[in-house]
Every structure is written in C-alpha cells, then in structure tokens.
C-alpha cells in the first residue's frame, strides 16, 4: 500500500454522477485519505482528499500540505494530485490558491490570466527547465470554472496514466522534487505578495478596455544568487503591504460617514472606487489611487498616482462617465497638492487622526480641512 494504491483506488471508485454523500464509495475513499497511515509522506506533510461538498467535484484531488506552512488551498501554495475529469490521468502539480481571488477578479478569464501570469513568474524560481518530464499545466478535460482555474494556477505539473501508474519509489521521487520546488516558490511568492507595488497584479489593455496579462520583462533574467538581497527587502515589503492596505481601509471607513460608499471588491486594478450612498453603478464615481509616502518625500508617490489615475481613466471608463480623480496619500504632499489640482486630480492625506485635502476634496466633503 502507498501513494500508488491510493491514486489507483480513487481512479477506480470515483463517480461524479453518484453524488457527494458519505455513503458514496469514491467519496469515502477521498475522505479516508487524511487518516491513512500507509502513504509514507515526508515528515511534516499530510494528505487530504477533496471530492466536493454539496456538488461532486468535476476533477477530484488530493492535497499534500506542509503542516508548518500554508494549509488552506484557498490561498497560498500547495501540492496536489488532481485527476482529469475522465479519470484517465492524475497530475502532481504545484498549485496556487484560487478561491481568494474571486472577490477581486471573479471566476472567469481575468482570474485565469492572473494565475497564469504569476505561475510564469514562479516557474523561474523553481527552475523547471532542470526537470525532465515536467510540464506547466495539467489537462483536466473539463470546461467548468474550477478545473480551468486549476490548470491556470499550476506552476509545474507531472501527469501519470492512472491505468499504468509508476511505482511508489518513482512517485516518491517526483513528490520530493515537487517539495523542493514548493520551497523555492514559497520564498518567491512571499517576496512578491508582500509588496504593494503597482504591478502586483500586472496587466495591459486591448482596444475596448479588455484586460490581458503583461509579458514578464524579466522572463530571461536569472541572477545566480539573490539570497542576501531577498532577505533585505523582505521586511521592507512586509511593511509596505500593511501600510498601503491600512490606508485604504481607514479612509474607506471615514468616507462612509461623509455620505460615500467605498468599493474595492471586483474593482481590480483600481485601489478604491467611491459612489454617493444610494447612487446607481451607472452614475459618476470617484476613482482613488492610494500611495504610501516614503521618508517624507512625496515625489515618487505622486508620480505613480498621476500615471495610474490617467491610465485607468483612459482604459477602464470608455463606456461610462469619466470618474473624478483622487490621489490618497499617507502623509502631507506639500506643493504637490496644487500641482495635482491643476491636472484635475484632488488629493487627500492623513493628518494625524484627521484627513486633510485639497480644495476639490474639501468641496466634495472628503477632507476635514
């Protein structure tokens, strides 16, 4: 008994048409994975089967989770054996969590585009070119949203024919290789997602405002050793992410008291959108770009805010009224406030426990002085 027998048993017994209740054989097999003692997984790793809850999964899967790391498949990185919808193949894949992205990108092509873009970035970290027999994505043979997202979320993948599975020794060799890749990818992922950089979810535009992923300009760039540099920027990026999100959160709570509804859900790549409380979606809105001022020097923050606000207004508002533009800053921006006003951009900044702003922001009631 071992991994080979477990995979074979799922392929023989799973039937998506049989339901997801506890008396269904395939579901019993998947639910029993967590209590199996014959898998001989590396120390610190646990397995858990997934066959769906109220609705049977189109592509059942078994997660291999690091108990000391991220164990929630809704986010983070993890390993999984995912079966194709016809159960003819099972693929060991290094996966990105997909569920947490639904709020910002929905469940369709925007989420898939982002997942593929980030998978390409992580693939450099795991050095897939060194691994024979590994591909980028599995073929799950189902067009539902979740299987398509699993395909897009794959960083590396190795597929097996369920009718001719390799030996447990070969499967374990591949699993150990995948764990090594997981470790490398986790560090790269941590560095990237702790950043509040404007391109954290990169994109470009096509005529008509459609969004598509940007080709990574560093695809061919592989420095030999960046360990010391990574260690230096990790703490800085952690601080950036918290302060950026905190700025948006605090201001959003403030403007509610001023008669505005703040929106972040489904607004990517915009930081924040404001509408008058009770206004329809088709009404005019306020587009807010938030920036953290570093070391008391607002120059970089202002430049980035101007560029993004103009870009988003041009590409994302072709079929609706142009928004009012606001730059939201973590501290006073001095002479840049009138500079922005001249360009049609109001500015608001944190002033101790208050929110100060430019004349236009005060006119809208979004600033206290």
Q: Shortest CA distance to 98 belongs to which of 156, 155, 157, 153?
A: 153
**For residue 150, pLDDT beyond 90:** yes
| % of the chain exceeding 70 in pLDDT | 82
**What is the per-residue pLDDT for 86?**
97
Q: How far apart are CA 276 and CA 284, in angstroms?
A: 9
**For residue 295, pLDDT beyond 50:** yes
**For residue 219, pLDDT beyond 70:** no
- Summarised one tens digit per residue, pLDDT across range 308-321 is 999 899 888 888 88
pLDDT band at 122 (very low <50, low <70, confident <90, very high): confident
Q: ω before 269 within 30° of 0 (cis)? A: yes
Enumerate helices (H) and strands (E) in the chain, giving the number of each: 10, 13
- Summarised one tens digit per residue, pLDDT across range 11-45 is 999 999 999 998 999 999 999 999 999 999 998 99
Beta partners for residue 348, in sequence order: 328, 357
Torsion of CA 29, 36, 33, 187, to 10 degrees: -160
- Summarised one tens digit per residue, pLDDT across range 59-97 is 999 999 987 655 555 668 999 999 999 999 999 999 998
Looking from the CA of 266 toward its CB, the CA atoms found within 13 Å total 6
Q: How far apart are CA 68 and CA 78, in angstroms?
A: 12
**What is the per-residue pLDDT for 103?**
72
**For residue 238, pLDDT beyond 70:** no
The secondary structure element, H or E, covering residue 48 is strand 45-52
- Confirm if 112 and 102 have CB atoms less than 8 A apart: no
**CA distance from start to end of the chain:** 72
**What is the per-residue pLDDT for 162?**
97
**For residue 54, pLDDT beyond 70:** yes
Tell me the average pLDDT of the chain: 83
Phi, psi at residue 62, to the nearest 5°? -125, 115
Mean pLDDT of 145-162: 95
Burial label, 282 (beta-carbon count in 10 A; 0-12, 13-18, 19+): exposed
Count of residues in the chain? 369
- Confirm if 156 and 131 have CB atoms less than 8 A apart: yes
Residues 290-325 as b/e (b if ≥16 CB within 10 A, e otherwise) read: bbbbeeeebeebbeebbebbeebbebbeeeeeebbb
- Confirm if 119 and 154 have CB atoms less than 8 A apart: yes
Mean pLDDT lowest among 129-133, 137-141, 338-342 = 129-133
Tokens of residue 141, six digits: 């043979």
**What is the per-residue pLDDT for 237?**
38
**For residue 128, pLDDT beyond 50:** yes
pLDDT band at 300 (very low <50, low <70, confident <90, very high): very high
Q: How far apart are CA 346 and CA 283, in angstroms?
A: 19
**What is the per-residue pLDDT for 80?**
97
**For residue 142, pLDDT beyond 70:** yes
Q: Provide Rg for the chain, Cα atoms.
A: 24
**What is the per-residue pLDDT for 79?**
96
Residue 77, C-beta contacts closer than 8 angstroms, at least 6 positions apart: 70, 94, 95, 96, 97, 122, 155, 182, 185, 186, 189
**What is the per-residue pLDDT for 6?**
97
| % of the chain exceeding 90 in pLDDT | 56
Higher pLDDT, 4 or 203: 4
Q: How far apart are CA 273 and CA 271, in angstroms?
A: 7
pLDDT band at 293 (very low <50, low <70, confident <90, very high): very high
Mean pLDDT lowest among 3-7, 121-125, 181-185 = 121-125
CATH numbers and ranges of domains, the chain: 3-195 (3.30.920.90), 227-363 (3.40.1350)
Q: How far apart are CA 153 and CA 332, in angstroms?
A: 41
**What is the per-residue pLDDT for 191?**
62
In 3-state terms the chain splits into helix, strand, coil percentages (rounded to 5) of: 40, 20, 40
């Amino acid at each position: 008994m071992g991994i080979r027998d477990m995979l074979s048993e799922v392929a023989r017994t799973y039937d998506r048409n049989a339901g997801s209740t506890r008396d269904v054989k395939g579901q019993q097999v998947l639910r029993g994975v967590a209590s199996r003692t014959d898998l001989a997984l590396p120390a610190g790793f646990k397995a858990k089967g997934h066959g769906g809850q109220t609705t049977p999964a189109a592509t059942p899967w078994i997660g291999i989770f690091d108990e000391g790391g991220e164990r929630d498949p809704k986010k983070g990185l993890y390993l999984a054996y995912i079966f194709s919808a016809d159960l003819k193949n099972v693929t060991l894949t290094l996966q990105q969590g997909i569920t947490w992205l639904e709020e910002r990108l929905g469940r369709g092509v925007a989420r898939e585009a982002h997942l593929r873009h980030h998978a390409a970035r992580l693939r450099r970290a795991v050095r897939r070119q060194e691994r024979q027999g590994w591909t980028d994505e599995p073929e799950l043979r189902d067009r539902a949203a979740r299987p398509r997202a699993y395909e897009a979320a794959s960083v590396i993948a190795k597929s097996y024919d369920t009718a001719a599975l390799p030996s447990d020794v070969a499967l374990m060799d591949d699993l150990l290789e995948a764990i090594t890749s997981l470790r490398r990818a986790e560090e790269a992922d941590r560095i990237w997602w702790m950043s509040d950089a404007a391109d954290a979810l990169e994109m470009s535009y096509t005529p008509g405002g459609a969004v598509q992923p940007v080709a990574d300009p560093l695809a061919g760039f592989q420095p030999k050793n960046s360990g010391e540099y990574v260690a230096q920027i990790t703490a800085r990026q952690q601080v950036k992410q918290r302060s950026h999100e905190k700025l948006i959160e605090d201001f959003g709570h403030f403007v509610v008291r001023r008669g505005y509804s703040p929106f972040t859900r489904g607004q990517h790549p915009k930081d924040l959108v404001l509408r008058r409380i009770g206004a329809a979606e088709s009404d005019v809105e306020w587009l807010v770009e938030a920036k953290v001022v570093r070391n008391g020097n607002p120059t970089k923050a202002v430049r980035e805010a101007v560029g993004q606000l103009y870009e988003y207004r041009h590409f994302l508002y072709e079929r609706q009224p142009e928004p009012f533009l606001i730059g939201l800053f973590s501290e006073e921006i001095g002479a840049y406030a009138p500079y922005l006003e001249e360009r049609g951009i109001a500015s608001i900044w944190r002033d101790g426990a208050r929110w100060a702003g430019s004349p236009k922001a005060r006119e809208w009631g979004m600033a206290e002085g």
